[in-house]
Amino acid sequence: MSRSSRFAFALCLLSVSVLAAAADGVVSASHPAAAAAGARMLAAGGNAVDAAAAVQFALNVVEPQSSGIGGGGFMMVHLARTGETVIVDSRERAPAKATAGMFAPDGLPMSFPLASTSGVSVGVPGTVRGVDAALKRWGTKKLAETLAPAIALAERGFRVNRFLAADIANDGGRTQLFPETAAIFRPQGVPLAEGDWLLQPELAKTLKLIAAKGPDAFYRGPLARAIVKAQQRARSELGETGRGRMTLDDLAQYRVAIRQPLIGHYRGWTLATMPPPSSGGLTLLQMLGLLERYPLGDTAQGYGFGSAKILHLMIEAMRLAFADRAMWIGDDDAVPVPSRGLLHAEYLAGRAALISLDKRMDTPQAGDPLPWDKADVRPKVSSAREESPHTTHFSIIDRWGNMVSYTSTIEHTWGSGITVPGYGFLLNNELTDFNFLPGADAAAGNPGANDVAPGKRPRSSMAPTMLFRNGKPLAAYGSPGGATIINSVLNVTLDLVDHGMSLQQAIDAPRLSVTQAGGKVSCEGGQGFMQPAIGVAAQDVLRRLGHEGLGAIGTDGCQARIGSVQGVGIDPASGTAYGAADRRREGTVITIRR
C-alpha cells in the first residue's frame, strides 16, 4: 500500500470498528466538563464555532492555570459550505507604552521568575474579543448562550482533577504570590487537592457580566479599570520597572485579526496551519520539507516508527528549523517574515544537505532564506525566554462538516499569577514571549523580529492544524506545550501520513522533541498507552551519533511527557465524524449521535 493511502485506510478501519452510527458532531478537549460544554451547544443545534466558544469559556473554569479570558489564542475554522479555512487571531498585544528594552531597563535582562509574575509581563487580552468575533461571523448562538455552561460550572463548582491539583501543588509559588489567587486555589493556606470541590463565584459574576453586556463589559468600564489596576502590581525586587504599562485605551482599542492559514504540502497531503505571529506553522512545514526527501515509514529500509534512522532525521530537522525560527520569525504585521524563502524548495535542499546519516551535525546556525524571498532584512539571533508547556487545545466538528482547531493560553502555568480582584480570573504573562534583550541593530540590518514594540504580538509556537486530501478536510488537531507544540504536531502528522496510524494511535504514540539548535533530546517511552515504544537500542544508536539528553548507554532515557493533542477527523469513505483525545491529560471525546 502506498504511503499516501495508509492514513486514509486507517481512518476507514477506525470508522468501521468504532463508529457504527452517524454523528451530529464531535468534541475533543482536555477536560470532560469542557467537552460537555461544547457538546451541549452541538446538541442544541449549534455549530462548531458555537461549541468552540462554550469549550473555551468552560476551560477558564476547569483549567484556569492554562487558559482563560485573561489570555489569547488562535482559532482555525474550516467552513464546509464554502470550503474556506480562516483563522481568528486573538493573540495578546503589547500595550502602547511598551518599549523594546522594558525587560532589560538597565541593560541586563530581568529574572524570568520575577518578570513573569509582575504586571510588566501582562499583554492586552484577546480571548473575549476573539470568541465574540468568531460567533458574529460564523456562529449561530449568542455569546450569552455559549457562556452558560461555564457560568454553571463556576457557580455550582466541580471536582478538582489530578492535573489541576498537581499544578497547584507544584506551582513554583505562582498561586501563593497574590492574595486573590491564593484565596481561590489555596483557601486558608491549604492547596486544593484531587477530589476537592472548587467554587468560583467571582468568576461566575464576571462571566454573567460579559453575557449580559457583551465584550465591551470586559474591555471598557469597571472591569477594564480593574484589569489595568491589577497589572500595575510588581514584585518588590523589580520596583517600578515591573509594573504593567497597559491602559484603558489599550483595552478599548484591542482588535482581533482574521487571517488566512499557512498552506503546505507533504507527500500529496495538504496542511493548513498557523502563520506568523506564531512560529508554529512555518517551523512545522520547514521540518516536513526537510524530511520529505527521506523514505519515512519504509520499514524495509529501516525507517519504521521508532527506528534510529527516523529519530535521528527528526532530531536534525528540528534543530535546523528551530535555528531559523530563532532568527527569522516574529509578528509579520510589525516586521516582515521571509515565509516564502523559509519554505522554498531550493532553500530547504541546502539546509537538508547539512544532515548526515552517520553523525549529529554541529550546532547549526540560521540559514539565509532571503535570496528566495522578497524581504530585505537580515536579523540576528536575539535572546528570548522558554515558553511554558501549559496551554490548551481542543478540536470540534459539527453535523455540517464545519471544523475548529483552537489553541489558547495564558502563557506560563498560572500566567502572571495575578487574579483580577473581585473578578476571579488570571491575567496572562504573554509578553515574556518577546526577546528580553532587544535584537534590533540598524548597522547589521536587524529589525528585531521579536523585540517588544507597541501593539505588537509576541512570537508564539501555537500550531492549530488541519489535514486535507484532495481538498477535503480529514483531520484537525493541535497541542499545548510551549515550543514543543510544534514537535507534537509534527510527530502526529508523521504518524498519520508516514506510519499509517489512526488518529488515536498517532495521539497515543510516543513523541520526540528538540526545541533549540543545540538543544538536548526529549522523548517519551512506551509506558502504558504510549505505544509502540522507542526502544533502548534505538536510543543507544542516537547516543553514539552524538545526541545529548538521553542519559547513559543501555538506559531508557525517554521519560518525558510531551504535549496533549486533541483531534477530530472525518472518515473519507463514509463521511462519518469521530474524535481522538490525549490521555496525557484528561482528554475526552464526546460524540453527538443522530
pLDDT digits (tens, 9 = 90+) for 223-275: 999 999 999 999 999 999 999 999 999 999 999 999 999 999 999 999 999 99
DSSP designation for 129: H
pLDDT for the residue 447: 65
Q: pLDDT tens for residues 147-184?
A: 999 999 999 999 999 999 999 999 999 999 999 999 99
Check whether 135 has a pLDDT greater than 90: yes
Grid cell locating 130: 476573539
In 10 A of CB 163, how many CB atoms? 20
Give alpha helix (H) positions in 335-466: 339-343, 345-352
Q: How confident is the model at residue 374 (pLDDT cuts 50, 70, 90)?
A: low
Structural element, H or E, at residue 582: none
In 10 A of CB 540, how many CB atoms? 17
Reduce the DSSP state of residue 452 to 3 states and report it. Answer: coil
pLDDT for the residue 389: 55
CATH number for the domain formed by residue range(s) 280-328+338-374+482-562: 1.10.246.130
pLDDT for the residue 388: 52
Mean pLDDT for 185-205 is: 98
592 within 8 A of 24, measured Cβ to Cβ? yes
Mean pLDDT for 320-339 is: 92
Task: For residues 354 and 371, give the distance between their C-alpha atoms in angstroms, rounded to a whole number.
Answer: 18
In 10 A of CB 183, how many CB atoms? 16
Mean pLDDT for 83-87 is: 97
Q: How confident is the model at residue 24 (pLDDT cuts 50, 70, 90)?
A: confident
By the 10 Å C-beta count (0-12 exposed, 13-18 middle, 19+ buried), 20 is classed as exposed
Nearest to 200 by CA among 59, 332, 336: 59
Please give the backbone phi and psi of residue 26, each rounded to the nearest 5 degrees, phi first: -140, 140
Nearest to 324 by CA among 292, 355, 353, 287: 287
Structural element, H or E, at residue 406: strand 403-409
Angle at alpha carbon of residue 68, lines to 66 and 70, rounded to 5°: 110
Check whether 335 has a pLDDT greater than 90: no
Residues with active-site annotation = 391
Q: pLDDT tens for residues 565-593?
A: 999 999 988 889 999 999 999 999 999 98
By the 10 Å C-beta count (0-12 exposed, 13-18 middle, 19+ buried), 222 is classed as exposed
448 within 8 A of 383, measured Cβ to Cβ? no
Q: pLDDT tens for residues 423-434?
A: 999 999 999 999
CA distances from 401 to 26, 137, 202 (A): 10, 17, 37
Q: What is the CA radius of gyration of the chain?
A: 23
Angle at alpha carbon of residue 117, lines to 450 and 153, rounded to 5°: 105
Grid cell locating 112: 524570568
Per the prediction, the chain carries an average pLDDT of 92
DSSP designation for 441: B
Give alpha helix (H) positions in 446-588: 484-497, 503-508, 536-545
pLDDT for the residue 223: 98
Q: How confident is the model at residue 498 (pLDDT cuts 50, 70, 90)?
A: very high
Q: Positive or negative, the Cα torsion across 61, 64, 67, 70?
A: positive
% pLDDT > 90, the chain: 86
Mean pLDDT for 326-346 is: 92
Task: For residues 437 and 452, give the distance between their C-alpha atoms in angstroms, rounded to a whole number.
Answer: 9
pLDDT for the residue 446: 61
**DSSP secondary structure letters along 546-566:** T--SS-STTS----------E
Q: Which residue has the cell 501563593?
A: 176
Check whether 375 has a pLDDT greater than 50: no
Angle at alpha carbon of residue 429, lines to 484 and 392, rounded to 5°: 45
Structural domain boundaries of the chain? Answer: 3-258+386-444, 280-328+338-374+482-562
Q: pLDDT tens for residues 266-325?
A: 999 999 999 999 999 999 999 999 999 999 999 999 999 999 999 999 999 999 999 999
Check whether 405 has a pLDDT greater than 70: yes
% pLDDT > 70, the chain: 92
Q: Which residue has the cell 509574575?
A: 117
Check whether 3 has a pLDDT greater than 60: no
* Per-residue buried b or exposed e for 431-470, using 16+ beta carbons within 10 Å of the residue's own CB: bbbbbbebbbeeeeebbbbbbbbebbbbbbbbbbbbbbbe
Q: Which residue has the cell 482574521?
A: 258
Mean pLDDT for 6-35 is: 62
Q: Which residues pair with 419 in a beta bridge?
A: 426
pLDDT for the residue 593: 86
pLDDT for the residue 445: 54
**DSSP secondary structure letters along 227-239:** HHHHTT---TTTG
Tell me the pTM: 0.93
282 within 8 A of 262, measured Cβ to Cβ? yes
Task: For residues 353 and 313, give the distance between their C-alpha atoms in angstroms, rounded to a whole number.
Answer: 12
Give alpha helix (H) positions in 107-200: 112-115, 127-138, 143-156, 162-169, 179-185
pLDDT for the residue 21: 37
Q: How confident is the model at residue 20 (pLDDT cuts 50, 70, 90)?
A: very low
Q: pLDDT tens for residues 505-558?
A: 999 999 999 999 999 999 998 778 999 999 999 999 999 999 999 999 999 999
578 within 8 A of 20, measured Cβ to Cβ? no
CA distances from 173 to 403, 428, 503 (A): 38, 16, 37
